[in-house]
Amino acid sequence: MSDQCVFCEILRGNEPASFTYQDDTVVAFMDVQPITRGHMLVVPREHSVLMGDLNETVAMRTFRVARQLSAIVRSALGATGVNLFVADGETAFQDVPHFHVHVIPRYPKDGFGLTFPDGYGQPPGRAELETVASAIRDAAV
């Protein structure tokens, strides 16, 4: 655990949280700045800033719990959809340096939306797609 991390402080019991799930690997608690009713954070007990830094087993457990909580908010809160969101790195709007998954219940006309940059919907040519795909494949080997 990190001394400077608010999530680690919650896990130590030094900061309050409204827990919805706890096991030996992962906890979930209500987001204090919820986007919608029932917005939770699923947080591994292991401190890692980025998804790639996290133990693979712990990462999979985190997503498994997020999936379970998604089903629960549908039945318990009447959500008609759920967004799972990961902000992995500062450029991706990660504001707490501890990997976590947002479980955001969705309701008709809840006001939450995604905005896309100018030019969205104008697909690149096949050659560009193949160039990028090739770079990814080559890096994965």
pLDDT, average across residues 110-139: 91
Domains, the chain: 6-112 (3.30.428.10)
Do 55 and 65 touch, CB atoms closer than 8 A?
Answer: no
pTM tops 0.85: yes
Beta carbons within 10 angstroms of residue 40's beta carbon: 26
In whole angstroms, what is the distance from residue 73 CA to residue 122 CA? Answer: 35
Instruction: Kindly compute the dihedral angle of the four CA atoms of residues 103, 71, 108, 92, in this order, to the nearest 10 degrees.
Output: 20
Q: What is the pLDDT of residue 2?
A: 62
For 11-55, how does the pLDDT look when each residue is reduced to its tens digit (9 = 90+)? 999 999 999 999 999 999 999 999 999 999 999 999 999 999 999
